Amino acid sequence: MNQVPVSAAPAPVSAPAALALGDDALVLSHRLGEWAGHAPVLEEEVALANIALDLLGQARVLLSLVGDEDELAYLREERAFRNLQLVEQPNGDFAHTIARQLYFSTYQMLLYGQLAAGDGPFAPLAAKAVKEVAYHQDHAEHWTVRLGDGTDESHERMQRGCDALWRFTGEMFQPVEGVDVDWQAMAAAWHESITSVLERATLTVPEGPQRGAWAAGAGRQGLHTEPFGRMLAEMQHLHRSHPGATW
């Protein structure tokens, strides 16, 4: 009698991994949502809102793998969040927001590309998300070049944004428990991609520790920068003010 092969059980989802990736997407989604009504042109208001919604969708899937997505988003204290310090940084001006998006979307594109190519628990999400992130990265690259190679003022603002956020980029390549990727290869590919974009934009790669030795933040350990506390209070205010309320 022929035996039917037994499929291997899917790998269990790592809670630290789902929280880290989910919190990244959730926090950056909120930051981008703050541009509603304030973007420099209507088209960019729509574009940033769409990117924010993509990230929110990713966050909902990832957080639901761990528990109730609403409770995780609105009832955790600051120290319980595991997002990168990069994504919690204030929007600043438009160039500052674009620099943050360029750094993060390039990282996320490489991360999801590796996850989608594997057979781990995040592969299905990554296969879908990588298509969204491709747009996020293209949008950020387009504006980086446009601002960097534009007027003297836009060039100065774009360079200032890139310089200010550079110190937060090293944390992206700290290994996360349950995320099975080649972190060193990702860091090298990220640095190469960012360098290429900044050169096309006539911008200078920020000075600081070299690839693989950046000073890393501690957002993954629940230590956050001062602006995050204010952002979190705003994000959680309605839910905490009306506990148990439904539409």
Q: What is the pLDDT of residue 243?
A: 87
Secondary structure (DSSP) of the chain: -PPPPPPPPPPPPPHHHHHHHHHHHHHHHHHHHTTTTTSSSHHHHHHHHHHHHHHHHHHHHHHHTTS-HHHHHHS--GGG----TGGGS---SHHHHHHHHHHHHHHHHHHHHHHHHS-STTHHHHHHHHHHHHHHHHHHHHHHHHHHTS-HHHHHHHHHHHHHHGGGSGGGGS--TT--S-HHHHHHHHHHHHHHHHHHTT-PPPPSSPTT-PPP--GGGT---HHHHHHHHHHHHHHHHSTT---
- At 14, the amino acid letter reads S
Residue 210 CA to residue 63 CA, distance in Å, equals 33
Structural domains present in the chain = 15-241 (1.20.1260.10)
One digit per residue, pLDDT tens: the chain, 247 residues?
Answer: 444 344 444 567 899 999 999 999 999 999 999 988 887 777 888 999 999 999 999 999 999 999 999 999 999 999 999 999 999 999 999 999 999 999 999 999 999 999 999 999 999 999 999 999 999 999 999 999 999 999 999 999 999 999 999 999 999 999 999 999 999 999 999 999 999 999 999 999 998 754 444 445 699 999 999 999 999 999 999 889 988 877 6
Q: What is the pLDDT of residue 216?
A: 52
Residue 119 CA to residue 121 CA, distance in Å, equals 7
Q: Name the token pair of 203.
A: 């911008």
- At 76, the amino acid letter reads R
Q: What is the pLDDT of residue 85?
A: 96
